[in-house]
Amino acid sequence: MKTIYCISGLGADERAFSRLQIAPGFQLKVIPWLQPLPKETISEYALRMSQPIVEKDPILIGLSFGGILCTEIAKLIPVEKIIIVSSIKTTEELPGWMKAVALLKLNKILPLRSTKLTAPIQNRMLGVSEPLDIKVAEDYRKNADPVYVNWAVDQVLNWKNAWVHPAIYHIHGDNDKMFPIKNTSPTYIIKDAGHFMIMNRAGEVSELINKILQPA
């Protein structure tokens, strides 16, 4: 049984991977988010996140911000494959609005907490509309630690990376509003899928992951 190490999206937990159906012979292990240390860099954080990985040449799956962490971990340890879902591979794939927010440091000025007014906008960005998915998204926002959220958002906005792992596979929805597909170059595209597709299009995401897991 080969373990696949999973890192969820910003503020999310193991539930993000709960609807995936992975082929026999593999098991998923979700690495929980750690509380960032004061002034910790993303590389330093990735080193701490890599500590639970005990398999040699592991396979990593990263969702959204978790995909960025997978790339950072792969800079530190040998990795067989990286599968990123609803994520980005390099700084160039960041959308223009995120680059503008980073340039103007708006995330340092404006509060990042969710409110009744901002929740519908956030749900739209995630691509959630079904009551169950909305409840999961709201639960993530409610329980996310503000120190972690502020740190993570800043890391995404200011991520500097041009390196692409030779065995990285990118699954993306063509209706992703968080990371619009026009800025990315995915390996596989799921039609009409949004940022939350690992849950609301889990069957199609699972099929592609299982395809990637097959020996070359």
Q: What is the pLDDT of residues 124-179, one digit of tens each?
A: 777 776 777 677 667 767 777 888 889 999 999 999 999 999 999 999 999 999 99
pLDDT value of position 210: 98
Counting the structural domains of the chain, the total is 1
Rounded alpha-carbon distances, angstroms, from residue 146 to 33, 97, 102, 105: 13, 22, 18, 17
Residue 78 sits in a domain whose CATH number is: 3.40.50.1820
User: What pTM was estimated for this model as a whole?
Assistant: 0.90
**Dihedral (CA of 172, 178, 179, 181) sign:** positive
Give 121's contacts (C-beta < 8 A, 6+ positions apart).
none
Give the gyration radius of the chain's Cα atoms: 16
Segments forming the whole domain that contains residue 94: 2-213
Q: What is the pLDDT of residues 47-98, one digit of tens each?
A: 999 999 999 999 999 999 999 999 999 999 999 999 999 999 999 999 998 9
